[in-house]
Each structure stands twice: as structure tokens, then as C-alpha cells.
Structure 1
Amino acid sequence: MLDRLSDKATADYYNPFTTFDWPSSLPADELWMSPELLSVHGTELMDELSPAQLRDLSRWESVNFYSLNVHGIRELLIEVTRRIHTPGFELPSEFFHHFVGEENDHMWFFATFCLRYAGKIYPDKSVRLPEAPRDPAVENFLVFARILVFEQIVDHYNVHLAADARLHPTIRHINRLHHQDESRHIAFGRRLVRLLWNRLLRDGLDEAAREDLRDYLTRYLAVSTGSFYNPAAYRDAGVPGGFALRERLLDHPGRRAADARVLQKTTGFLRRIGVFDA
């Protein structure tokens, strides 16, 4: 599998610094994010906000999405480079080189989008989960489980945005290229996470430790989806009461259902391999 993925990465290689023809600006009166992916979709706010407000929100939630990618990629690059060519990761290290190179390219073009068209990258405001000392094997599993969660959430958005003809070609191009690479990373991540989980079970992971891992990943899923509800994006879009709005949306049944759809592939996979209960 690693040989196939490495060969595909080589065949699909592109130079991000020459691939994009960045326009000087993107139209402010057009959508930058599919309405179905906005954090207010499925709530009464979709009707309460004017078309102009929804366009503004689509612009700033687009910037928030790409900012989240910058921060998420930085974290995964740190974790993967810590493990490349180390004991236990001899086999995937060749693919790690493709992975690291591609993720570095992704971070560059997401950051470039934010800085060119918004003049900023939203800071990382996500809640940091407490880290307790863990067995290295458990830590390896959690690192690659977090990477898989992040990549599958992002890919859900990429697929939708790449196919949305209402969006500017530059936006569609970014998301199409990212999905192309992430499809390989996700295939690799699923295989590795399953392998690392099975090794934990083989080595006698007890029920208390299993419950701790379930609890950690459940909280990580909530933190990950919660990062799409950014009060700063509401403020920049001219939507008042950003923090109160965030809490209102996080508790809204329509948004809970939407977040569950975003996480569906991830939670389904974790149930299939036995991390989550049925």
C-alpha cells in the first residue's frame, strides 16, 4: 500500500509556487464558502441574516477554515517529523517524506490565501486538551488518530467546495488540489491508526485505558468541530454578539446534526475498529 501511495504522490506531484495563478483580489460580492457549510446553516439565522450578511459571513468563515488548516497542518508536521526514521516507523518513513512535503505545500497555499485576500490568519484559539504522561504506544496512536480526524473533517469541506460552481475558480482549485493529496493521506492514516490500535489491544490495553482513549477522542472531536464557530469571523462579518452566538449555535439541534454529518466517516471508522462503542 505504501509503495502504491508513494508512486501516486510522485505521479501527482505539482509545484505549488507555480501552480496557482493568484488573482489580485476575489469579488467581495460573491460567495467564498458554500452556504450549506456555514456555521449558521440549518438554523433560523439563515433566514434572519440578509443576503449581504451571508456573503460576508461566507468570506470570513472561508478565511477561518483556511486558518484552521494552517494551524492543524503545523501541528501534524511537528508530530510526524518527530517520528520519521525512528524505531517503530521504519516502514512508513519513505511515505512520511511525501506526506511532510505535501503538507508543507498545503500550509503555504492556505496561508497565502488568507494573507492575500484577508490580510491575516486567524490565531489558533482552540482549547488545548490536558496532556497526561502516556505510554509511547498510546501516544503514537493518539497522534495519528488526531491527524486522521483533522484530515477527514477538512476533506469533507474540500470535496464540497471543490464541486461548488458558485465559488470562484481559485477557491475551487485550492480545495480540489488539497482533496487530491488528502485522499492518499487519509488512506494511509486509516491503515496506520487501525494497526496502532490493534497493537495496543494485542499488548493488553485494559478497559480503564480504553475508556480514557475514548473520552480523549470524543473531546477532541468536539474541540475540532467547535473551531468552526469563530466569534472573530462573526465580528468581521458584521454579525453581532459573536461569543453568545457561538454558544447558541453549538447548542442548536440543527448544528449538532450538521456536525455529526461532518464527523460521520470518522466516527464510523472508530466504531468499526472498536475504539468507540456501537
Structure 2
Amino acid sequence: MTSAPAESAQRTAADEDVSQRLLDSAATLSYDPATEVDWESPLPPDEYGLNPEWSTLYGTPLWDELTEQQRVTLTRHEVCSVMSIGIWFEMILQQMVLRDQYVKNPANAEFQFALTEIADECRHSIMFARACAKMDVPAYLPPRLIAQLGRLFKTLASAESAYGGILVAEEILDVMQRDWMRGENVLGIVRTTSKIHVVEEARHMKFARQEIKESMRGAGRVRRNASAVLIAVVADIVASNLVQKEVYASVGLDPDRAVAAVRRNEHRKSMLRNSCVHLMDFLSEAGLLNRPAMAIYRRINMI
């Protein structure tokens, strides 16, 4: 029978192995958005900001009322809203990861990959900011209350709740951007930034899953249940704020009417559910999908 110290040493070695492989991957395949993205070419006036199918209004009578130019404008504002909210959450993420690695052994691969991830997120945030400026779309910041909740979360969250929050935000974006990067009628600047984000975030998601698994070893029932609900609440906040209400005024729509249409949009609900299948499978395997959490995910159409 293997002793507890021996088992712990084996787990630590396995965790270090994952982190080292992620470090090796980052050294082999990473991008510099400053040179990879074509920042100089003019934007074709007829190309969308994201695949029309990912527009919040696609499939609604309101979408049918829009002219083609309004649809193009709407999708550009929608993708920039997603990017702006992405920047906001990446700033939360960086602070949580820094706090988690505070005074840990810098020789460890886990520590070094965590800092690599932070460097990636800094580049991604600058990349998204430049993309929005190129599309001449204003920053869509989260409402004041949501911003304050984010400040509270990044200050208090730790272990699986911190990395779980990171994971749900990254997973939601990942499926969307995999479609955007292949969209033939999507702006080249969006396709390229999406590709960069997808490739590099794949490592970040694997790291988050590994940190969650490590944190959940030996976690008691109360802690598991509390973390499951907190992660679901974070998912609710992120999913509900990706496209800000003010976006709809960009094409001359009544924001209240547009938001009501989005809430009734069965096509969008289906797209969200399909994009979260793998996330839900992982959370279930990790013991982070209890009944209260599932009720939240169901309400926001992630299940």
C-alpha cells in the first residue's frame, strides 16, 4: 500500500509534469498580436464582426427587420462588447493567479506557467483593445454593480472557486471564437485575434482544470457545494454581461425591446447550451455540479 506522503509526492510530480508540458507548448506555439494581426489594412465594409449565427438577435423577428448594413454594424458592436468584457475578466484573472502564486517556489513549472499565462492575458487584453479601436467601437464596460462584484470576487476567491471562475469564462468564449476564426464572412481582424486567443487559451484552460483537480482533492461536502454555487454565479454574471444593453442603440434599436427579444431567442439558448457541454461534463466529474448550481446554469441556458 502506498503511503500518504508517497501519494502526495506522486500527485505533485504529476501536476508539475502538466505545467512543464504547458510551458513547452507555450515556447513552441505562441503569437505576438503586434505582428500577427493586420492592423493597417482597411476593414471591408460588408464583413461581420462575428458569425451572424452568434449574434444575440439572430433568429428573432427583430433580426429580420434589420438591413444588411445594420446587421454588420450590430455584430461589430457585439464582438467588441465581448472583447471589452473579456478584458475586464482577464484583469480579474491576472490578479487571482498572481495572488495564488504569491511566495510559491519560482523554480516550479507551475509558478512559471502561471506567470506565462499572465503575460499571455496582458497581450490578449491589448490585442482586444486595439481591435475595438480599429473597428471604431467604444468600450462596453460592465455596469457599476457588476464591476464591484468582480472586485469582490477577485479579492476573495481562491483555489477551485478562482480557477473555476476562470474556466467558465474561458470555455464560454472558446466555442464562440472557434466559429469566428473560421467565418468566411467575418472580419480578418476578428478571425486572427480569435485564432490567437483560442490557441493560447487552450493551455490556460488545461492549467485551470489541473488546478481545480488539485484543489478538490480531499475537499469536504460543504466546501464542494459552496464552490459549485459560486462558480455558477460567476458563469451567470459573465454570460449575462457579454453583450451590453447599450450595443443595440448602435443600430438604432430600442435597447429594452432588443433585450426582451434576446431573452426569448431560442436559437441563442441552443447555441449557449451546445457550447457548454464539455464544461458541464468537467464540472460534474470534479464534483462541482450540484442541484443549486445546475438550477443557475439551466436558468442562463448553459444546460
TM-score by length of 2: 0.79
Q: Answer whether contact 1:64 1:233 (CA < 8 A) is retained.
A: yes
3-state DSSP of counterpart to 2:158: helix
Of 93, 101, 106 in structure 1, the residue corresponding to residue 111 of structure 2 is: 93
- Give the unaligned 5+ runs of structure 2: 1-17, 292-303
3-state DSSP of counterpart to 1:96: helix
Q: 1:4 is aligned with what amino acid? A: R
Aligned to 1:214: 228
Of 128, 141, 151 in structure 2, the residue corresponding to residue 123 of structure 1 is: 141
Determine the C-alpha separation between the residues in 2 that align with 1:58 and 1:183: 25
Instruction: Give the drift of 1:87.
Output: 4.4
Determine the C-alpha separation between the residues in 2 that align with 1:132 and 1:179: 28
Equivalent residue pairs, number: 269
Aligned to 1:151: 170
Q: How does 1:185-204 map to 2 (within 5 A)?
A: 185-198=204-217, 202-203=218-219
Q: Answer whether contact 2:70 2:251 (CA < 8 A) is retained.
A: yes
- Give the unaligned 5+ runs of structure 1: none
Determine the C-alpha separation between the residues in 2 that align with 1:220 and 1:64: 18
Q: Answer whether contact 1:28 1:56 (CA < 8 A) is retained.
A: no
Determine the C-alpha separation between the residues in 1 that align with 2:51 and 2:274: 16
Determine the C-alpha separation between the residues in 2 that align with 1:225 and 1:14: 27
Aligned to 1:8: 25
Instruction: Give the drift of 1:143.
Output: 0.9
Aligned to 1:72: 89
Q: 1:226 is aligned with what amino acid? A: S
Determine the C-alpha separation between the residues in 2 that align with 1:211 and 1:61: 34
Q: 2:216 is aligned with what amino acid? A: W
Instruction: Give the drift of 1:41.
Output: 2.4
Q: 2:274 aligned with 1:261, yes or no?
A: yes
Q: How does 1:1-278 map to 2 (within 5 A)?
A: 1-87=18-104, 92-125=110-143, 127=146, 129=149, 139-198=158-217, 202-203=218-219, 205-207=220-222, 209-238=223-252, 240-277=253-290
Q: 1:30 is aligned with what amino acid? A: E
Change in CA separation of 1:130 and 1:92 when aligned onto 2, cut-off 3 Å: closer
Q: 2:278 is aligned with what amino acid? A: K
Change in CA separation of 1:132 and 1:187 when aligned onto 2, cut-off 3 Å: closer
Q: 1:232 is aligned with what amino acid? A: E
Deviations 1:58-95 (A, max 9, x none): 11111112112211111111111222243499551011
Change in CA separation of 1:218 and 1:42 when aligned onto 2, cut-off 3 Å: farther
Q: Answer whether contact 1:229 1:246 (CA < 8 A) is retained.
A: no
Q: 1:34 is aligned with what amino acid? A: N
Q: Answer whether contact 1:153 1:262 (CA < 8 A) is retained.
A: yes
| Cα RMSD after superposing both structures | 2.6
Q: 1:228 is aligned with what amino acid? A: L
Worse-superposed segment, 114-123 or 177-186: 114-123
Instruction: Give the drift of 1:105.
Output: 0.8
Instruction: Give the drift of 1:212.
Output: 2.9
Could you say which structure has the higher helix fraction? 2
Change in CA separation of 1:102 and 1:28 when aligned onto 2, cut-off 3 Å: same
Change in CA separation of 1:29 and 1:131 when aligned onto 2, cut-off 3 Å: closer
Determine the C-alpha separation between the residues in 2 that align with 1:163 and 1:273: 32
Determine the C-alpha separation between the residues in 1 that align with 2:151 and 2:26: 34
Deviations 1:208-230 (A, max 9, x none): x4433332222222221111332
Determine the C-alpha separation between the residues in 1 that align with 2:152 and 2:121: 28
Q: 1:160 is aligned with what amino acid? A: D
Q: 1:193 is aligned with what amino acid? A: I
3-state DSSP of counterpart to 1:163: coil
Determine the C-alpha separation between the residues in 2 that align with 1:139 and 1:178: 24
